[in-house]
Structures are given as C-alpha cells and as structure tokens.
Amino acid sequence: DEKKVLTSAGAGDAKATMFLINDTQIINETFLEDINNILNAGEVPNLFPNDEVERIIGETRPKAKDAGRSEGRDSVWQYFIELVRDNLHIVLTMSPVGASLRVRM
C-alpha cells in the first residue's frame, strides 16, 4: 500500500524503507505513474485525503521543529516529502520474458 510506505518513510519515526514491486503486482498501468511521481516529486498528488494529511503533519511537526524548520503547515509537509525522498528506496523487478518489459521501458 503506497500510503503505508510513504508514511513509514516520512512521518512519525521516519525510517529507511524499501518498497519492493514485482511486475506481476502491477495490475493497472497507472500504478507506474504513481511510482514515477514518487521518484520525481516524493509524493503522489491527492493520494492522502485532508484528514490524513493533517495527521501526517501532526506526526512530522516535532521532527521539523527539531530540524529548525518552520512549524507552518506547508513547511512541515515539505519536510515530510524530503524525509520520504531521503528514506524511501524503490526496487522494481521485471521479468525479461514477454513484451511487458519492452512496453514499460
């Protein structure tokens, strides 16, 4: 679950997290767009509803304050994204058999 992976890497006790994805787990190609967004921006737009965003900000605020960051909502959210980018490692495995690898590359 993308939400769990992102919150593990960025909120609360943010820790190094590996997200292992096998090509057989990719049911919908839009999932690859989400992975691309995580790799490029550190987040998936509109993945979290507002109540979850507020919970994440609440969990991240103490760490942001300790890091000398502003405690404003946007600043704390940016800090969460930075933690995700620093802590999340994505491993995507694909079988060379069949056409799906060529299509996805």
pTM of the predicted model, to two decimals?
0.84
| CATH code: domain of residue 47 | 3.40.50.300
Rounded distance between C-alpha atoms, residue 35 and residue 15, angstroms: 19
Give the contacts of 49 (CB within 8 A, at least 6 positions apart).
Answer: none
51, pLDDT greater than 90: yes
What Cα–Cα distance (Å) separates residue 8 from each residue in 3, 16, 56, 103?
8, 8, 10, 31
CB contact at 8 A, 64 and 79 = yes
Domain that holds residue 8: 2-104
Structural domain tally of the chain? 1
**C-alpha dihedral sign at 60, 61, 62, 67:** positive
- Residue 35 is predicted with a pLDDT of 87
Structure tokens at 17: 């997290």
